Amino acid sequence: MKNSLTILSGNANRSLSGSICKELGVPLGKSVIGRFPEGEIKVQLKENIRGRDIFIIQSMCTPVNDHLMELFCLIDAAKRASAERITAVLPYYAYARQDRKDRPRVPITAKLIANLLVTAGANRILTMDLHAGQIQGFFDIPVDHLYSIKVLIGYLRSKKIKNLVVVTPDVGGIKMARAYSNMLKAPLAIIDKRREDEHSVKVMNLIGEVKDKNVILVDDLVSTGGSLVEAASALKKFGAHDIYAAVVHPVLAGPAAVRLKSSVIKEFITSDTIPISNEKRSKKITVLSVAPLLAEAIKRIHENTSVSSLFARASVEA
């Protein structure tokens, strides 16, 4: 059965795809992804995949629209090449923050992307730390939703930080923060923030106690860094000691890398769901790999064995 597994990758995160293949002990499937002169995306699979179980790895990171189009083209190519089953492996699912109509006349892009993936030909989805768990319900095909918490918690535990408190920089992140707080056996505090626009946020209140404590600020993603950096400086004002940030998806848009570097955050712990360019890297940033977790899930999906033990977070967030 193993022979029928083929991993393909878009250009978004080749390094993660390589690590996943290494974990699985399979070579990366051959494909060429280029551009036509006018910029359109050109894809060709360079091996026979008829009747195979195909996993297409693509993170929806910057340039997000190009990476999405690559993904759709790869799925379409695999479908037309008679793949038996196509799983879109999406370490980072973008457009996820627009998951409801919170203002008049706006799209629900998280649902739109789900529709486009299915229309392209995806038969199932494997993804990680969705911005909102209910996005799974935007698909009428199977979705396996993994959490990176075990990877991040393992590292945090190894640091043996004493006198901890887990803080979420906004009320929407309470479930995630509660899972960290339960697993680290540390109390929980909540920041009540207001977003002024896409680029800036303002901390309004703190619910909980951080005075003289070391803080782990947890979030699913950092985009401009506004939420995290504002939260960290507010926590310092409330008397916190060392501040660590544990964030799954390092989107790091615009000023984020500079903001992080000059912030009061002691260490920014993240994953490789999105690659971080050399210009954005700094000594503060620690990247942990989710490749073993994704590889294990791919193996289990391929072998039709249970993936639920990899979901890990659901049992500790209650």
Q: Which residues are catalytic?
A: 193
User: Is the Cβ of residue 255 or residue 275 nearer to ligand R5P in the bound state?
Assistant: 255
Among 128, 151, 221, 293, binds ligand R5P (CB under 6 A): 221
Yes or no: say if 266 and 242 are a contact pair by the CB < 8 Å rule: yes
Cβ 248 to ligand R5P shortest distance, Å: 10
Q: Which of 13, 17, 181, 227 binds ligand R5P (CB under 6 A)?
A: 227
Task: Scan residues 72-131 and list those touching ligand R5P (CB under 6 A).
Answer: 97
- Interface segment toward ligand R5P; rule CB under 6 A; list 10-18, 87-95, 105-113, 219-227: 219-227
3-state SS string over the chain? CHHHEEEEECCCCHHHHHHHHHHHCCCECCEEEEECCCCCEEEEECCCCCCCEEEEECCCCCCHHHHHHHHHHHHHHHHHCCCCEEEEEECCCCCCCCCCCCCCCCCCHHHHHHHHHHHHCCCEEEEECCCCHHHHHHCCCCEEEECCHHHHHHHHHHCCCCCEEEEECCHHHHHHHHHHHHHHCCCEEEEEEEECCCCCEEEEEEECCCCCCEEEEEEEEECCCHHHHHHHHHHHHCCCCCEEEEEEEECCCCCHHHHHHCCCCCEEEEECCCCCCCCCCCCCEEEECCHHHHHHHHHHHHCCCCCHHHCCCHHHCC
Contact flag: residue 226 with ligand R5P (CB under 6 A) = yes
Rounded Cα–Cα distance for residues 70 and 61 (Å): 12
Of residues 126-185, those binding ligand R5P (CB under 6 A) = 169-170, 172-173
Residue 210 C-beta: closest distance to ligand R5P, Å: 18
Choosing from 148, 181, 224, 263, the residue that interacts with ligand R5P (CB under 6 A) is 224
| Number of residues engaging ligand R5P in binding (CB under 6 A) | 16
| Member of 190, 201, 215, 260 binding ligand R5P (CB under 6 A) | 201
- Out of 129, 219, 272, 317, name the contact with ligand R5P by CB under 6 A: 219
CB closer to ligand R5P out of 74 and 130: 130
Residue among 19 and 227 whose Cβ is closer to ligand R5P: 227
Q: Which is nearer to ligand R5P, 228 or 235 (CB)?
A: 228
Which is nearer to ligand R5P, 53 or 219 (by Cβ)?
Answer: 219
Q: Is 250 in the site for ligand R5P (CB under 6 A)?
A: no
Q: Which residues bind ligand R5P (CB under 6 A)?
A: 97, 169-170, 172-173, 201, 219-228
